[in-house]
Structure 1
Amino acid sequence: MSSHSTVAVVAALAFAVALAGCKPQPDDHGADSAGVDRPEVGIVTLRPQAVAMTAELPGRVVASQTAEVRPQVSGIVQQRLFTEGSEVAEGAALYQIDPAPYQAAYDSAVAALQKAEAAVPSAQAKSERYQGLVKQNAVSKQDFDDAVAALAQAKAEVATAKAAVETARINLDYTTIKAPIGGRTDRSSLTPGALVTAGQTSLLTTIRTLDPIFVDVIQSSTNLLNLRQAIDSGRLKVSGPHVAVKLKLENGAIYSLTGKLEFSEANVSTSTGTVTLRAVFPNPQRLLLPGMYARAVVEEGVAPDSFLVPQRAVTRNTKGEAVAMFLDKDGKAEERVLSVIRSVGNNWLIGAGVRDGDRVIVEGTQYVRPGQMAAGTEVVVDDTTGEVRERLPRQRRAARPGAEP
């Protein structure tokens, strides 16, 4: 080989070595062993946690007590003694019916009682006198029996007169129509001067107790069975004897005070397959009114050592199964079938298919296929919106323009 050929070979080898020194080395985050760039994906590392289980159920606000006010005696209404729409206490006077005829009936009954009571001493004395004389055969046995009967009749007439007085007194009291319960009044259906009759069908007004107030919600019998089975199996822990309830109002606002579950009905509706639950809430500001629509958020219990997977990470395969993409420790993507129990906010509660430390892909799943290498960046998913809100810094050197190879 000539000297010129030897020099050319040495120069070529030196150039090749220089190129090899400048070639980028495989990076666990950016390229695979073949030198192909890995797609960038957002991941969330799963950890077991205690998950508060809630159920959001539709319901209606109901007054804790309702009383329809009707007259119990007939007469002319003289006065309305309350302000429409105001709060009244139990026993407060609402209407005044003309008491004159009932006062007269009461006075007459009192007089009849006095007359009956006046006849008792005479009958008592005659009976006692005849009792001594009959032993001496001074009076006949028949006269003595008549005297005893007369005394008993006089006492009976007193008892009858007392009952008549009490009846008259009750009717006289009924001329003042009083509130049977405390609460807020509706509008009055009549004005002073109107004639009312005992037992009429039309209402004078309605009183509703608004503090505390009830919210009746409905839950499907299927969900109720699932809840009881979860509690019995230990998958769900109930905290305390009282179930706390939050209330979401019609405008989407959360009611500031917490209620508690009062009871559930002991029957299932045959037409809807639902069970009615009743929650009681304090209502000091009278913000909740009967008839309002609301959604009750019922705290069913706590599921210990549970896994939550963001809903954005879960899709369905051709079989309809819930699946998600994961990154293994080597950065290889794999697809798994998950057992989804229920939704918790913007997450899925998973029953099977995940382990502690699994890295689920929540962003960029469209860029990877099972078995493909990918570079994962830890992200934070907002539980309220379900969107990625933060990307955590990665521990690697970023490539800079003009950096030395």
Structure 2
Amino acid sequence: MPNCEVRRYRPCLLVVVASLVLAAGACRDRQGPSASAPPPVSVLVETVAAQSIPRVVELPGRIEAIRSAEVRARVDGIVERRLYEEGTDVPAGAPLFLIDSRDYEAALQQAQAALSRAQAVQGNAASEVARFKPLVERLVVSAQEYEAALAALQQAEANVADARAAVTLARLRLDRCTVRAPIAGRVGRALVTEGALVSASGATLLTQVNQLTPVNAVFTQSNLSLLELRKQFQSGAISAPTGRVQVWLTLANGDEYKEPGVLDFTDLVVEPSTGTQILRARFDNVSRVLLPGQFVRGRIEIGTIPNGILVPARAVQFGNNATSLSIVADDGTVVRRNVDLGPQEAGQWVVKDGLEAGERVIVDGWQKVQPGQHVDAQPMPASHS
């Protein structure tokens, strides 16, 4: 009886096993061959090339007037009037202030009167010498009297010269009662008002005149950096500019100043307290945008890097005290290589060592791959490079 039951259910078991085998085969067919070999990761690469790269140094600086004159009192007195409009451009010699001049007018008249007296005495002494000269030849007048007359004439002439100098000084003091602009430029606000007492001995500051066209931009650079640049020039790593060194400015609000300047001075003295040297550039400042005291940042094109290689900043990997790039080799695998970076130019790094022209650098997607992994390298679109 049991053997009959086994024989009865054996065909059913065979049908179940066959169904399971067919179902497993169908699942394998639906998964396809990609289940064992995933597709390579797609990355964006940029093929680097050797090129001539401008070497630009960016430095902080401040605008200074090319000429700046402090207008100070040169006589004592009370300020009667201000003769200019504050903040305007004035020519050299323009009147700025008027100081009470009545005392100096009287002093000039007194000096002129003293000159007239001295001239009268001189004329009398000259007449006496003229009378004595023929008489002394005829021995009517003694030689001693003639010599005394000559001495009196010389003393009278000296008194005239002294009186004339006093007149000149009195006239100068009277002229200085009208305070004039020593240079052409823009005159600032008045530091004294009408009725203020000013002093020549105290050199009372009245206002200031600044020449704004052109102006200077003064920068500071560490002596160590300048020594390194000189070393690069000597080794040929940087080629010196063929013409004048141009400078571009960025204003405090981030705007670019459109008119380039020219580097015209490098100080030969190192500041002991800071270890820096002074660089100066001149700007025409026709638009009068640059004003003395403004903070700016200057970009100075000091030369070019021949056969330099640039890589986008986002392709550079920093970590473990090393700087590296992910490169796609000829066989399509990823190679991570340490590189030596130079300065940063226009958002890209200059690679000094570790990269050759023609190699493909992974710019986007290097975070998703590992060295030795096969990747699908796609060229970086021009709009994203």
TM bucket (normalised to shorter chain) is 0.7 to 0.9
Partner of 1:336: 337
Cα distance in 1, alignment partners of residues 325 and 287 from structure 2? 48
Q: Deviations over 1:65-94 (max 9, x none)?
A: 222222111122221101122222211001
TM alignment of 1:148-159, pairs within 5 A: 148-159=150-161
Of 80, 94, 98, the match for 2:82:
80
Partner of 2:294: 292
Cα distance in 2, alignment partners of residues 316 and 103 from structure 1? 80
Cα distance in 2, alignment partners of residues 151 and 255 from structure 1? 71
Q: Secondary structure at the match of 2:351?
A: strand
Q: Are the counterparts in 1 of residues 248 and 260 from structure 2 also a CA contact under 8 Å?
A: yes
Cα distance in 2, alignment partners of residues 129 and 81 from structure 1? 57
Q: Secondary structure at the match of 2:205?
A: coil
AA aligned to 2:336 is E
Q: What are the ranges of 5 or more consecutive residues in structure 1 without an aligned counterpart?
A: 1-22, 25-30, 383-388, 391-405
Cα distance in 2, alignment partners of residues 140 and 235 from structure 1? 94
Q: Secondary structure at the match of 2:282?
A: strand
Identify the range of structure 1 (117-126 vs 141-150) with the bigger mean alpha-carbon deviation: 117-126
Shift of 1:138: 2.7
In the superposition, relative to structure 1, how do residues 380 and 99 fare at CA in structure 2: closer, same or farther (>3 Å)?
A: same
AA aligned to 2:196 is A
TM alignment of 1:3-402, pairs within 5 A: 36-318=38-320, 320-380=321-381, 389=384
Q: Deviations over 1:47-73 (max 9, x none)?
A: 111111111111122222222222111
AA aligned to 1:224 is L
Q: Secondary structure at the match of 2:53?
A: strand
AA aligned to 2:339 is L
Q: Are the counterparts in 1 of residues 198 and 204 from structure 2 also a CA contact under 8 Å?
A: no
AA aligned to 1:349 is V
Q: Secondary structure at the match of 2:114?
A: helix
Cα distance in 1, alignment partners of residues 196 and 318 from structure 2? 71
AA aligned to 1:196 is V
Q: Compute the RMSD of aligned alpha carbons.
A: 2.2
AA aligned to 2:251 is L
Identify the range of structure 1 (178-187 vs 154-163) with the bigger mean alpha-carbon deviation: 178-187
Q: Deviations over 1:233-279 (max 9, x none)?
A: 22222324421111101111001211111212222222222222122
Q: Are the counterparts in 1 of residues 74 and 203 from structure 2 also a CA contact under 8 Å?
A: no
Q: Secondary structure at the match of 1:258?
A: strand
Cα distance in 2, alignment partners of residues 187 and 48 from structure 1? 56
Cα distance in 1, alignment partners of residues 274 and 77 from structure 2? 47
Q: Are the counterparts in 2 of residues 70 and 199 from structure 1 also a CA contact under 8 Å?
A: no
Q: Are the counterparts in 1 of residues 77 and 100 from structure 2 also a CA contact under 8 Å?
A: yes
- What TM-score, normalized by structure 2, do the two folds share? 0.85
Q: What are the ranges of 5 or more consecutive residues in structure 2 without an aligned counterpart?
A: 1-31
Cα distance in 1, alignment partners of residues 173 and 47 from structure 2? 78
Count of aligned pairs between the two proteins: 353
Q: Are the counterparts in 1 of residues 73 and 203 from structure 2 also a CA contact under 8 Å?
A: no
Cα distance in 2, alignment partners of residues 206 and 300 from structure 1? 35
Cα distance in 1, alignment partners of residues 243 and 182 from structure 2? 33
AA aligned to 1:315 is Q
In the superposition, relative to structure 1, how do residues 114 and 380 fare at CA in structure 2: closer, same or farther (>3 Å)?
A: farther
Q: Secondary structure at the match of 2:285?
A: coil
Shift of 1:201: 4.8
Q: Secondary structure at the match of 1:370?
A: coil
Cα distance in 1, alignment partners of residues 374 and 210 from structure 2? 67
Question: Normalized per residue, which structure has more helix?
Answer: 2
Cα distance in 2, alignment partners of residues 202 and 75 from structure 1? 11
Cα distance in 2, alignment partners of residues 256 and 340 from structure 1? 31
Aligned-residue identity in percent? 39
Q: Are the counterparts in 2 of residues 310 and 381 from structure 1 also a CA contact under 8 Å?
A: no
Cα distance in 1, alignment partners of residues 125 and 203 from structure 2? 49
Cα distance in 2, alignment partners of residues 314 and 94 from structure 1? 61
Identify the range of structure 1 (366-375 vs 54-63) with the bigger mean alpha-carbon deviation: 366-375
Cα distance in 2, alignment partners of residues 47 and 241 from structure 1? 26
Q: Are the counterparts in 2 of residues 244 and 299 from structure 1 also a CA contact under 8 Å?
A: yes
Cα distance in 1, alignment partners of residues 122 and 110 from structure 2? 19
Moved >4 Å (runs of 4+):
none
In the superposition, relative to structure 1, how do residues 316 and 381 fare at CA in structure 2: closer, same or farther (>3 Å)?
A: farther
Partner of 2:15: none
Shift of 1:180: 1.1
Q: Secondary structure at the match of 1:256?
A: strand
In the superposition, relative to structure 1, how do residues 258 and 308 fare at CA in structure 2: closer, same or farther (>3 Å)?
A: same
Identify the range of structure 1 (148-157 vs 70-79) with the bigger mean alpha-carbon deviation: 70-79
